[in-house]
């Protein structure tokens, strides 16, 4: 117990120490300043501009930025779709893998383009090395970079002190702009993701993570794991090379590799708060958000840790001691499984090192609650920050009224347009979750996917849609979209409803908020800035952090409270086994 | 200055029409403007239908096995929820209407005498018409005095019983329709078209007829509508979720859950808060021409205040006698008093008053043998005084007295220049006193800051508002007075252009500027300022340029206006927070009730979720009823708060946020737990549900 808490505390301290460093680096990267990485990364960056044929200095307004995001993502979607549909043509296809059914491919492609990495398939039995390394891994990089770019664009709009001077100088070409997507995308890859992923992959190989193009030997699947593993965590993607993800010894062989992976998952989402603080010119702003996120995160860890150590009521009744070890790797034990569970679900990573469906009732409540917050507590790379900033706007609106001023955020008035957009942005994901799981549970279309009955079956279905809508990608198992009697996709079938609705939910959960966030950025960027005074609501104080937590928890909890009762809470309260 | 605050919040004659009004407002055409309450009304209709179904079919509509009494109770309380919301709005409107009626009573349709002697009905007067009003007559419409001077009784609109002087030309030329001329005769040029008069607008405003949603209200409404939408979805999807757990839920219970979750408290009170805010201003004798202006006043960052009359008393007053070497202070005081006896200016009188503190009495003068000869002040001599008993006493500007002394063959003491320079340097006006060619000393005339101003500015500073004093004085004088009064900044040697420039400058930096003004030359600045409060005594031009009119013509009223604006926003925010926070308790009341039997392991036993009935409410039915009754009753209970506004304390934003979060956030979490439990004790233990 004490050692477990010490391990968790050490991990947290490590993150806190790195946040200002990486946060500062990213602030320099996205302000277009020089960094130490420029000799290598700068060359890659300029090469990318030449290949893409874009002018990185041309500023875009929010519509142009959004168009670029959608265009780029659509192109990535098509490319990945083609790769996954042509597996029989791939070289290094030693297992003679066919392509998956079209509906499963639709789901998988949507999953990786949206940074979800929801997997109806098992990697080692369905994907060629080309699909894994050229298809999925590339999307792991670029989808993460898109998330970062959108967050940076929003932060830039909030920070922009240059007024919309349409009346004074109608010729100002930069009025209402929020940056250049191609530049943000490229620099996120060349200056942040690639360098860290490269070093991390080497470290992981050092720990024994596999990196080979050799074929399956003696019935043991192999492959280029480490290169995919690093970005899987760093980009909060979470799609494992192997079906059991980070519980597999080739993905996560040692206690140290486990620590590296945990660190990689949280480091960018946590550091982006510092990037935000620096870009708006007040580091305390970043720390306030980091503090609010951290508190919710620590509560998550504490609850799942306590619940798993305590075991289920049924285990208690049976006199089993030593916590709930069902579905856990004994190497990881309850501590590292619990920490991984919390880390991977506060962020929208979704990599796992234990089986979530085997969590205790209350332990299982934690990942669901984390997703109920809309993946705003650290969240995915970029996506977490912009989701949290939407909650910040809501908190500013309510808190601003309570100090007797029409609400303003860092000097910019929050008016009907922003509230309309924020409401849409915050409500889009719950809407997708409730609709998706409602239809799946109530109609015959969901039935082929749902294996279990009772609260477990309910949890598994709800979780599937929570995970897909929030672009998390972890699963509670038991909700399937793919039936494969043999390895290699031969004679396999997709569950069309689960695949297509799931895919659409992922696309909606990704791109609706992105468009809304960019629209908010466009609306905020040119706003007149009112200087702060003693009567202005400060957003860098503990009180505001408390209000923010209240808004996140209330909006999240209130939306999913009834649903959560019927799943994990029932299981946490009964000795009955379902 | 008689703020009509004393009127109690509810009187019987207010309540009766409000009750009727709240029933009339049940019409969907009215409800649809408020999405939250519209959903409640639809829910009420649904439960009424469910009740009829249950009466005939003998089973609950949509499943479940609740009793008919339960369905009836929920239906009644849902209707009551809507009625309570309407009542809140009707009450707020009623309070305004009572004032409007009083105003309307003044708008007697008098007959106006035109300048050419013909007569015309007052409501037929148009802009540019000239009417003659003599003592005892009412003024037929808003206008400007173009000829004559008269004392006017404006008590009907200002509540101030002392008559005011209205004269042609200058800054006191505006007259208001409905007021009464007490003496003399004036010719008034009408400045408003019929139906557009000050009185008409005032009536429309307090009645809420011209009420449009303010931008902030629109934004808040969007938020509330979005919350309503998501809870609608939560409740709609709960049906299939529950079905998966083999639990059926009656339509009545689902509607009850929905109504409990959507933010009905703030939804019901939102428009009442807005109307009441406007009403509170009217009670302080301020007339806001739009709700937007009231909201903006809560955001004011900079307050421009005229020095004279606002910050200072407006007259220089003697504050110190500074004797020259060899002269006692009493001797100087006596000389100063004698020289000022005939001086009827406020300055002269203040010298006499100050001299009294030295034990000098006016009657001591009578002891003299000669009749004193007073020398009046002229612009040429720039001094005044008295000749008696063969001595000559003079007081006046330093250089004039020095010239007089030298002409008499005397010498000015070397200390004189230093003292005069000191007084001038401190922002005062030095007057030199001399007797028979000998300088006795200097009188220090000071521009006196009104009492309590520093405290008011401290209060403003705590609100986050910077005050800027505007004065025509030179920089030195201005700086001294600014320091004494405790304002944050000042604009010296102000002209209307420089004032305008200052406002534009502050606005360019993103600040919201409020100012008061009364003169025609203030009009452009009043129009430019975000909150421009015109004095009712001011000119018509000023009154039209501002977005508020202060009937008391009290420039420091701005402070109260700002507080009302802030109060309005705080009340909105506080009740929104409260409304959302109460959902937690309602969930804990209703959901365990709905799922009490779900996944029960033995027949007739309770399911695991029954353990969440942390309030130990009697039965599922009494739990749901208690939650709904609480949800309905909290509306009328909070009406007084909505109408009076949440108390505002200028303690800075962070402290204010902490305070309001504690009261309304934490309160919203705790109060319903207590309230629902208490209601359940009645509903279950007493009524037996």
Name the phi and psi angles at A17, rounded to 5. Answer: -70, -35
Of A326-330, B41-45, B287-291, B305-309, the range with the highest mean pLDDT is: B41-45
Residue A172 confidence (pLDDT): 63
The residues, any chain, with a CB within 8 Å of residue B662's CB and separated by 6 or more, are: none
The residues, any chain, with a CB within 8 Å of residue A247's CB and separated by 6 or more, are: A329, A332, A352, A353, A354, A355
Asked if B484 contacts B505 with a C-beta cutoff of 8 angstroms, the reply is no
Contact across the interface for B299 and A437, Cβ inside 8 Å: no
User: Looking at the complex, does the CB of residue A419 fall below 8 Å from at least one CB of chain B?
Assistant: yes
Q: Which residues of A touch B654 (CB under 8 A)?
A: 538, 541, 543
Buried b (16+ CB within 10 A) or exposed e, A362-390: bbbbbbbbbbbbbbbbbbbbbbbbbbbbb
- DSSP 3-state assignment of A322? coil
Residue B196 pLDDT grade (very low, low, confident, very high; cuts 50, 70, 90): confident
CA distance B484 to chain A (A): 22
Sign of the alpha-carbon torsion through B616, B618, B619, B622: negative
Residue A395 falls inside a structural domain:
yes
Q: At what angle do helices B264-283 and B557-594 cross, to 10 degrees?
A: 160
Q: How far apart are CA A275 and CA B469, in angstroms?
A: 42
Asked if B126 contacts B190 with a C-beta cutoff of 8 angstroms, the reply is yes
- Nearest residue, CB atoms, B511 vs list A454, A531, A537: A531
Strand locations in B216-330 (E): 286-288, 302-306, 312-323
Residue B297 pLDDT grade (very low, low, confident, very high; cuts 50, 70, 90): confident
Contact across the interface for A415 and B569, Cβ inside 8 Å: no
Residues of chain B with pLDDT > 90, as a percent, come to: 29
The residues, any chain, with a CB within 8 Å of residue B455's CB and separated by 6 or more, are: none
Residue B215 pLDDT grade (very low, low, confident, very high; cuts 50, 70, 90): confident
For testing contact with chain A, the best of B63, B212, B216, B610 (most A CBs within 10 A): B216
The yes-or-no verdict on residue B661 having pLDDT over 90 is yes
Contact across the interface for B298 and A543, Cβ inside 8 Å: no
- Nearest residue, CB atoms, A535 vs list B219, B241, B464: B464
Q: Which residues are paired to B533 by β-bridges?
A: B516, B548
Q: Which residues of A touch B505 (CB under 8 A)?
A: none
Q: At what angle do helices B667-680 and B557-594 cross, to 10 degrees?
A: 50
Residue B355 confidence (pLDDT): 84
Q: Which residues of B touch A431 (CB under 8 A)?
A: 230, 233
Contact across the interface for B462 and A534, Cβ inside 8 Å: yes
Q: Which residues of B touch A411 (CB under 8 A)?
A: 510
Asked if A466 contacts A366 with a C-beta cutoff of 8 angstroms, the reply is no
What is the DSSP secondary-structure string of B577-640? HHHHHHHHHHHHHHHHHHTTTTT-SSTTPPPGGGGG-TT--S-HHHHHHHHHHHHHHHHHHHHH
Asked if A348 contacts A470 with a C-beta cutoff of 8 angstroms, the reply is yes
CA angle A358, A359, A363 (to 5 degrees): 170
Predicted ipTM > 0.90? yes
Q: How far apart are CA A47 and CA A186, in angstroms?
A: 10
Q: Which of the residue ranges A213-217, B145-149, B159-163, B503-507 would you say has the lowest mean pLDDT?
A: B159-163
What tokens appear for A576 in the block? 């009955």
Residue A208 CA from chain centroid, whole number: 26
The residues, any chain, with a CB within 8 Å of residue A94's CB and separated by 6 or more, are: A215, A216
> Looking at chain B, which residue has its C-alpha nearest residue A457?
B244
Mean pLDDT by 10 residues, chain A (578 residues): 90 96 97 93 95 91 96 97 95 90 96 96 92 95 97 95 54 79 96 97 95 88 93 95 94 95 97 96 95 96 94 88 89 93 95 94 95 93 96 94 90 92 94 95 92 92 96 92 89 94 97 97 90 85 94 89 94 84
Contact across the interface for A574 and B608, Cβ inside 8 Å: yes
Q: How far apart are CA B538 and CA B186, in angstroms?
A: 17
CA distance A107 to chain B (A): 24
Asked if A65 contacts A178 with a C-beta cutoff of 8 angstroms, the reply is yes
- Nearest residue, CB atoms, A402 vs list B240, B299, B660: B660
CA distance A576 to chain B (A): 7
User: Looking at the complex, does the CB of residue A192 fall below 8 Å from at least one CB of chain B?
Assistant: no
User: Looking at the complex, does the CB of residue A550 fall below 8 Å from at least one CB of chain B?
Assistant: yes
- Nearest residue, CB atoms, A569 vs list B229, B463, B609: B609
Q: Which residues of B touch A520 (CB under 8 A)?
A: none
The residue with tokens 């809407």 is A431
Residue A171 confidence (pLDDT): 54
Sign of the alpha-carbon torsion through B442, B443, B447, B453: positive
Contact across the interface for B569 and A423, Cβ inside 8 Å: no
User: Looking at the complex, does the CB of residue A316 fall below 8 Å from at least one CB of chain B?
Assistant: no
Is B654 exposed, middle or buried, given 0-12, 13-18 or 19+ CB atoms closer than 10 A?
middle
CA distance A9 to chain B (A): 30
Residue A508 confidence (pLDDT): 97
Residue A527 falls inside a structural domain:
yes
CB hemisphere CA count around B211 (13 angstroms): 22
CA angle A9, A12, A13 (to 5 degrees): 85
Contact across the interface for B577 and A576, Cβ inside 8 Å: no
User: Looking at the complex, does the CB of residue A397 fall below 8 Å from at least one CB of chain B?
Assistant: yes
Contact across the interface for B241 and A562, Cβ inside 8 Å: yes
Residue B306 appears among annotated catalytic residues: yes
The residue with tokens 């409803």 is A497
What is the DSSP secondary-structure string of A58-109? S--BHHHHHHHHHHHHHHHHHHHHHHHHTGGG-TT-TT---PPPHHHHHHHH
Q: Which residues of A touch B222 (CB under 8 A)?
A: 416, 419-420, 423
Q: Which residues of A touch B510 (CB under 8 A)?
A: 411, 528-531
Residue A90 falls inside a structural domain:
no
Residue A134 CA from chain centroid, whole number: 21
Residue A200 falls inside a structural domain:
no
Residue B97 confidence (pLDDT): 77
The residues, any chain, with a CB within 8 Å of residue A119's CB and separated by 6 or more, are: A108, A111, A239, A240, A243, A473, A475
User: Looking at the complex, does the CB of residue A545 fall below 8 Å from at least one CB of chain B?
Assistant: no
The residue with tokens 């359940």 is B680
Residue A407 falls inside a structural domain:
yes
CB hemisphere CA count around A225 (13 angstroms): 29
Q: Which residues of A touch B652 (CB under 8 A)?
A: 534-535
Q: Which residues of B touch A562 (CB under 8 A)?
A: 234, 238, 241, 587, 591
The residues, any chain, with a CB within 8 Å of residue B355's CB and separated by 6 or more, are: B321, B333, B334, B336, B337, B340
User: Looking at the complex, does the CB of residue A458 fall below 8 Å from at least one CB of chain B?
Assistant: yes
Write the pLDDT tens digit of every residue in B219-245: 999 999 999 999 999 999 999 999 999
User: Looking at the complex, does the CB of residue A457 fall below 8 Å from at least one CB of chain B?
Assistant: yes
Residue A159 falls inside a structural domain:
no
Average pLDDT over residues B122-149: 84
Asked if A352 contacts A341 with a C-beta cutoff of 8 angstroms, the reply is yes
Q: Which residues of B touch A418 (CB under 8 A)?
A: 219
CA distance A166 to chain B (A): 14
- Nearest residue, CB atoms, A406 vs list B230, B299, B583: B299
Residue B2 confidence (pLDDT): 36
Residue A109 falls inside a structural domain:
no
Write the pLDDT tens digit of every residue in B391-437: 888 888 888 888 888 888 788 888 888 888 888 777 778 889 988 88
Contact across the interface for B299 and A458, Cβ inside 8 Å: no
- Nearest residue, CB atoms, B567 vs list A404, A442, A462: A404
Residue B368 pLDDT grade (very low, low, confident, very high; cuts 50, 70, 90): low
Q: How far is CA B56 from CA B62, B69, B80, in A?
A: 14, 14, 24
- Nearest residue, CB atoms, A543 vs list B230, B607, B654: B654
- Nearest residue, CB atoms, B653 vs list A403, A441, A573: A403
Residue A365 falls inside a structural domain:
yes
Contact across the interface for B243 and A554, Cβ inside 8 Å: no
Which residue in the list B306, B343, B473, B583 is annotated as catalytic? B306
Write the pLDDT tens digit of every residue in B472-485: 777 877 888 888 88
Q: Which residues of A touch B611 (CB under 8 A)?
A: 573
Q: How far is CA B525 from CA B385, B559, B562, in A?
A: 43, 19, 19
Of A186-195, B447-456, B641-650, the range with the highest mean pLDDT is: A186-195
Q: Per the structure, how many domains does chain A have?
A: 1
Domain that holds residue A375: 356-572
Q: Can you give the length of chain B in residues?
A: 689
- Nearest residue, CB atoms, A573 vs list B223, B261, B611: B611
The residues, any chain, with a CB within 8 Å of residue A330's CB and separated by 6 or more, are: none
Contact across the interface for A569 and B244, Cβ inside 8 Å: no
Residue B4 confidence (pLDDT): 43
């Amino acid at each position: 117990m004490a050692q477990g808490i010490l391990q968790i505390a050490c991990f947290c301290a490590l993150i806190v120490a790195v946040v200002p460093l990486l946060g500062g680096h990213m602030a320099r990267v996205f302000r277009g300043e020089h960094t130490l990485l420029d000799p290598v990364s700068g060359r890659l960056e300029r090469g990318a501009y030449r290949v893409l044929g874009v002018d990185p200095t041309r500023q875009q307004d929010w519509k142009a930025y959004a168009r670029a995001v959608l265009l780029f993502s659509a192109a990535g979607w098509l490319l990945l779709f083609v790769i996954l549909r042509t597996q029989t043509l791939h070289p290094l296809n030693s297992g003679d893998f066919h392509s998956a059914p079209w509906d499963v491919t639709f789901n998988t492609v949507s999953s990786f383009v949206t940074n979800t990495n929801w997997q109806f398939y098992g990697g080692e039995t369905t994907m060629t090395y080309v699909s894994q390394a050229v298809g999925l891994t590339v999307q792991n990089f670029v989808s993460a970079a898109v998330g970062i770019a959108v967050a940076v664009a929003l932060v830039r709009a909030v920070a922009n002190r240059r007024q919309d001077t349409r009346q004074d100088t109608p010729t100002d070409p930069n009025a209402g702009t929020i940056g250049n997507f191609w530049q943000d995308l490229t620099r996120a890859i060349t200056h942040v993701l690639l360098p860290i992923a490269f070093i991390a992959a080497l470290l992981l190989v050092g720990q024994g993570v596999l990196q080979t193009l050799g074929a399956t030997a003696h019935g043991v699947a192999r492959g280029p794991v480490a290169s995919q593993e690093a970005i899987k965590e760093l980009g909060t993607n979470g799609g494992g090379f192997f079906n059991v993800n980070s519980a597999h010894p080739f993905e996560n062989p040692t206690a140290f590799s486990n620590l590296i992976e945990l660190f990689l998952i949280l480091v960018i989402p946590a550091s982006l708060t510092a990037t935000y603080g620096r870009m708006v010119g007040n580091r305390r702003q970043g720390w306030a958000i980091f503090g609010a996120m951290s508190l919710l995160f620590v509560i998550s860890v504490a609850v799942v840790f306590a619940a798993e150590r305590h075991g289920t009521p049924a285990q208690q009744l049976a006199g089993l001691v030593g916590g709930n070890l069902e579905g856990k790797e004994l190497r990881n034990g309850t501590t590292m499984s619990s920490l991984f569970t919390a880390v991977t679900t506060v962020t929208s990573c979704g990599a796992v090192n234990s089986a979530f469906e085997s969590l205790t009732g209350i332990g299982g409540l934690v990942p669901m609650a984390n997703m109920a917050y809309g993946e705003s507590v650290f969240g995915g790379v970029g996506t977490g920050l912009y989701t949290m900033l939407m909650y910040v706007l809501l908190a500013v609106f309510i808190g601003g009224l309570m100090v007797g001023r029409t609400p303003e955020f860092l000097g910019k008035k929050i008016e009907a347009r922003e509230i309309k957009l924020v409401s849409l942005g915050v409500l889009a994901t719950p809407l997708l979750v409730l609709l998706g799981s409602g239809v799946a549970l109530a109609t015959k279309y969901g039935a082929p996917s749902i294996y279990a009955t009772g609260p477990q079956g309910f949890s598994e279905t709800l979780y599937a849609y929570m995970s897909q809508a929030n672009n998390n990608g972890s699963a509670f198992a038991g909700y399937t979209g793919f039936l494969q009697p043999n390895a290699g996709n031969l004679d396999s079938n997709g569950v069309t409803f689960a695949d297509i609705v799931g895919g659409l939910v992922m696309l909606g959960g990704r791109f609706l908020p992105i468009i809304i966030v960019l629209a908010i950025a466009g609306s905020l960027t040119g706003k007149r800035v009112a200087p702060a005074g003693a009567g202005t609501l400060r957003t860098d104080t503990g009180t505001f952090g408390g209000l923010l937590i209240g808004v996140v928890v209330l909006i999240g909890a209130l939306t999913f409270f009834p649903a959560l009762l019927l799943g994990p809470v029932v299981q946490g309260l009964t000795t009955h086994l379902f | 200055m008689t703020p009509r605050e004393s009127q109690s919040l509810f009187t019987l004659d207010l309540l009766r029409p409000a009750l009727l009004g709240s029933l009339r407002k049940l019409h969907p055409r009215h409800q649809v403007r408020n999405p939250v309450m519209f959903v409640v009304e639809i829910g009420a209709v649904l439960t009424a239908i469910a009740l009829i179904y249950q009466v005939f079919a003998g089973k609950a509509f949509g499943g479940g096995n609740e009793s008919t009494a339960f369905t009836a109770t929920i239906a009644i309380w849902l209707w009551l929820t809507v009625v309570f919301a309407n009542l809140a709005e009707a009450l707020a409107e009623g309070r305004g209407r009572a004032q409007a009626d009083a105003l309307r009573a003044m708008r007697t349709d008098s007959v106006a005498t035109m300048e050419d002697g013909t007569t015309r009905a007052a409501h037929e007067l148009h802009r540019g018409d000239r009417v003659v009003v003599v003592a005892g007559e009412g003024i037929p419409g808003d206008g400007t005095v173009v000829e004559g001077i008269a004392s006017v009784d404006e008590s009907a609109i200002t509540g101030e019983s002392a008559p005011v002087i209205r004269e042609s030309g200058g800054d006191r030329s505006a007259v208001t329709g409905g007021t009464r001329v007490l003496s003399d005769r004036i010719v008034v040029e009408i400045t408003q078209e019929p139906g557009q008069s000050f009185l008409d607008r005032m009536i429309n405003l307090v009645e809420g007829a011209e009420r449009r949603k303010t931008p902030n209200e629109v934004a808040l409404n969007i938020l509330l509508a979005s919350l309503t939408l998501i809870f609608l979805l939560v409740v709609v999807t709960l049906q299939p979720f529950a079905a998966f757990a083999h639990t059926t839920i009656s339509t009545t219970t689902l509607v009850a859950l929905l109504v409990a979750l959507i933010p009905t408290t703030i939804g019901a009170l939102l428009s009442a808060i807005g109307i009441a805010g406007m009403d509170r201003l009217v009670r302080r004798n301020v007339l806001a021409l739009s709700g937007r202006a009231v909201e903006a006043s809560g955001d004011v960052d900079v307050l421009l205040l005229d020095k004279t009359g606002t910050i200072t008393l407006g007259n220089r007053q003697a504050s110190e006698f500074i004797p020259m070497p060899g002269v006692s202070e009493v001797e100087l005081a006596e000389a100063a008093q004698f020289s000022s006896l005939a001086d009827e200016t406020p300055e002269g009188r203040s010298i006499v008053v100050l001299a009294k503190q030295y034990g000098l009495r006016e009657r001591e003068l009578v002891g003299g043998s000669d009749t004193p000869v007073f020398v009046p002040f002229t612009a040429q001599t720039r001094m005044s005084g008295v000749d008696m008993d063969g001595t000559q006493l003079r007081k006046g500007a330093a250089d004039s007295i020095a010239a007089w002394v030298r002409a008499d063959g005397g010498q000015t003491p070397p200390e004189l220049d230093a003292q005069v320079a000191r007084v001038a340097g401190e922002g005062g006006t030095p007057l030199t006193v001399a007797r028979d060619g000998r300088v006795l000393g200097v009188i220090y005339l000071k521009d006196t800051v009104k009492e309590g101003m520093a405290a008011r500015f401290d209060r403003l500073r705590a609100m986050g508002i910077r005050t800027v004093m505007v004065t025509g004085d030179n920089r030195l004088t201005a700086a001294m007075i600014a320091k004494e009064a405790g304002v944050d900044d000042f604009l010296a040697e102000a002209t209307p252009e420089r004032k305008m420039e200052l406002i534009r400058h502050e606005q360019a930096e993103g600040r919201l500027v409020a100012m008061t003004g009364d003169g025609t030359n203030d009009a452009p600045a009043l129009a430019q300022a975000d909150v421009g409060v015109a004095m009712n005594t001011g000119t018509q031009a000023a009154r039209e340029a501002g977005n508020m009119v202060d009937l008391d013509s009290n420039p420091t009223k701005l402070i109260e206006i700002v507080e009302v604006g802030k109060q309005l926003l705080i009340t909105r925010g506080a009740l929104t927070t409260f409304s959302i926070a109460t959902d937690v308790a309602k969930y804990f009341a209703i959901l365990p009730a709905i799922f009490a039997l779900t996944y029960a392991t033995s027949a007739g036993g309770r399911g695991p979720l029954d353990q969440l009935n942390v309030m130990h409410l009697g039965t599922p039915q009494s739990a749901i009823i208690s939650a709904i009754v609480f949800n309905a009753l909290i509306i009328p209970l909070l009406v007084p708060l909505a109408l009076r506004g949440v108390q505002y304390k200028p303690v800075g934003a962070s402290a204010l946020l902490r305070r309001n979060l504690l009261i309304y956030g934490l309160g919203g979490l705790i109060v319903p737990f207590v309230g629902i439990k208490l209601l359940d004790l009645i509903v279950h233990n007493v009524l037996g549900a």
